[in-house]
Chain A
Amino acid sequence: MKLIDALRIVGEEEDRELPVVRWDLVCGFTPMHFQTFLGAHFRRACASQRTEIKCGLFGDFWGNLEKLNGGNVDSAIVVMEWSDLDARLGLRGLGSWAPAALPDILSNVEARARQFLPAIERISREIPMAICFPTLPLPPVSFAPSWQSSPFALEIRSLIASLSLDTARIKNVKVLDPQRLDFLSPCNERFDTKAELLSGFPYKLAHASRLAELLTLLTYPPAPKKGLITDLDDTLWYGILGEVGLEGVSWDLEHQSHMHGAYQRMLHALSETGVLIGIASKNDPQLVKQALAREDLIFPGDAAFPVEASWGPKSQAVERILQTWNIAADAVVFIDDSPMELAEVRARHPEIETILFPKNDYQALNDLFYRLRDLFGKSSISQEDSFRSESIRRASSEALVQPSETFLEQAEAEFIFDFSKEQADDRAFELINKTNQFNLNGRRLTDALWQSFLKRANTFLLSVTYRDKYGPLGKIAVIAGRVQRRAVLIEHWVMSCRAFSRRIEHRSLEALLRKFNAEEMVLDFELTSRNAPLRDFLTELLAGEPTPQCEISRGRVLDFLSKTLPRAAEVAHG
């Protein structure tokens, strides 16, 4: 992004009604254009919020950090540069670079590193933080030539690497990956000597923009994709199964088909993080079944579900997979080696992200792996990720697709209704931000807004965990809102599509009534292009179409529950 474009974006008239997120930018340089780029990238990433970025004093990184108070802002970005650790590591300071000064510089850096961690621990208890460690080249302070690693430079870098690791382990803190920055912003094109000396701004504009862009991704990450549908022939393996037979397909160095093995390894890794992997292949189903049973597959065949092998159009196979997974096309990536197949799928499912498998381009394969990590990446792996695929497999059995009352009664369902806000883990936040179908209004939250919501005294959070005799589903529903006198105002209500048809939404309502003994519920409903399942449930509950801010009396809820849940009558006396 060019500075002129960033200024225009920042200068655009903003909707005053939007919720404001207050950021504190902690740095030691004058933020100037970096602040402009940050504001512009924030605005592009999250049009539903207005951001205010506050900065501290020039040249006082440590003072700005100490003054940062989680009570005054919603989130913070910390950008450290070498000169913040010791002024002699910058050009503006004229302290000695003589060999005798080097031990003292090192000792200062060590002391600053010790000072940094407790400050971040203190602030991160209040607000989410994004942190970037020095991005500029280390100046030639040491006496060694620049092509030789000096113990001085290595020791400083080692201290920062260790500090980065300790920082990244702190809850509520995300650290920018320097390697990604290296890809985008060449090291020798970052430092602007003239701007640094004349105005205290150390970055070339291109570097400032890229750094701001990456910090924006760190703070407003795109929703991870949920499923990957892959082709088989010349994609998962090398060779056409129908032509070369079971033993003819390969994925190893010996057959110069190792790139397919590497792709399998990536798929396996993704599936182990909860990504759904499906197969759409034009092939003989029986042959595919046998091939996927080969024990030497790097990606175990049974980790894919469903497997759609037929001679019909791929778009129809994709359609069936989406139905089985019960997720929207825009949450899915489709990979195939044939541009024609990709186009055919895209024509029917324009929202799906289609990627050509680069069967003849080794470099592009490596790029594909980075791209897949970005598309499916998440900050942490939850327990739910480990059994997502398995629970979808179970849900696809006929009994669960159309459950009978008898089936539900015999399912031995167990619920945990957890109202604790203090121990709220990332899963509740994740569910609100990725659920589409059973979602009260489709509203997404940033880390900052979520933490601010949890901190408010009159808010509540209900997290619902479910298991039955067929296995656990984990934490699959969240209701969040406010309590005002005897009214419960529901601002967020989401439930994973894996949890449909188990009356979990009914039980959640029941739990809310019990907890707050509410006389009335107000639902902040908003119709979206995708939340028909929730709308249908509310239509049943209200005996009419839901409207924004629709109100339901306790009596109406009880009446509804008594008709749908045998035990609901207990609530009236709860």
Chain B
Amino acid sequence: MDDVQVRLMSCFGAVFPALTQKEILRADHHSVGRWDSVASVTLFAIIEEEFGVEVDLQDLPSLVSFATILGYLTSKSTA
């Protein structure tokens, strides 16, 4: 597991404390019942704070799962 993935898992764990590590890796806004708009705002606030990035508004609609967010952050860090 690379550093970005570990830190992102930590962000998900803080917002969705009931999820196991395996569940976090598969998490998306359909499968996680508590992933509502408030949780989204909190999740992205934590991600922005943790990774020192600002998530672009136009990217938000596609960032609906752990995998897509991980891909987004990885591309930002290598860009």
Binding site for B on A (CB under 8 A): 2-4, 7-8, 11, 32-33, 36, 194-195, 198-199, 201, 205
Contact = CB atoms under 8 A, between A and B. Distances in A.
A115 B75 CA distance: 53
A11 B39 CA distance: 14
B41 A4 contact: no
A205 B49 contact: yes
Nearest to A2: B49
| Main secondary structure on A side of the interface with B | helix
Given A3-B42, A11-B17, 14 more contacts: A2-B46, A3-B14, A3-B46, A7-B14, A7-B42, A7-B46, A8-B14, A8-B17, A11-B14, A195-B41, A198-B57, A199-B41, A201-B41, A205-B45
Nearest to A205: B49
A205 B41 CA distance: 12
Nearest to B50: A4
Interface hub of A4, A33, A194 (most chain B Cβ within 10 A): A4
| Main secondary structure on B side of the interface with A | helix
Contacts of A8: 14, 17
B29 to A, nearest CB: 17
B17 A4 contact: no
A192 to B, nearest CB: 9
Interface of B: 10-11, 14-15, 17, 38, 41-42, 45-46, 49-50, 54, 57
Given A11-B17, A33-B45, A205-B45, A4 B38 contact: no
A8 B15 CA distance: 8
Interface hub of B14, B38, B49, B54 (most chain A Cβ within 10 A): B14
A32 B49 CA distance: 15
A32 B17 contact: no
Contacts of A33: 42, 45
A195 B50 CA distance: 17
Contacts of A11: 14, 17
Interface hub of B15, B38, B41, B54 (most chain A Cβ within 10 A): B41
B52 to A, nearest CB: 12
B15 A7 contact: yes
A195 B54 CA distance: 11
Contact of A32 (B10, B15, B42, B50): B42
Nearest to A192: B45
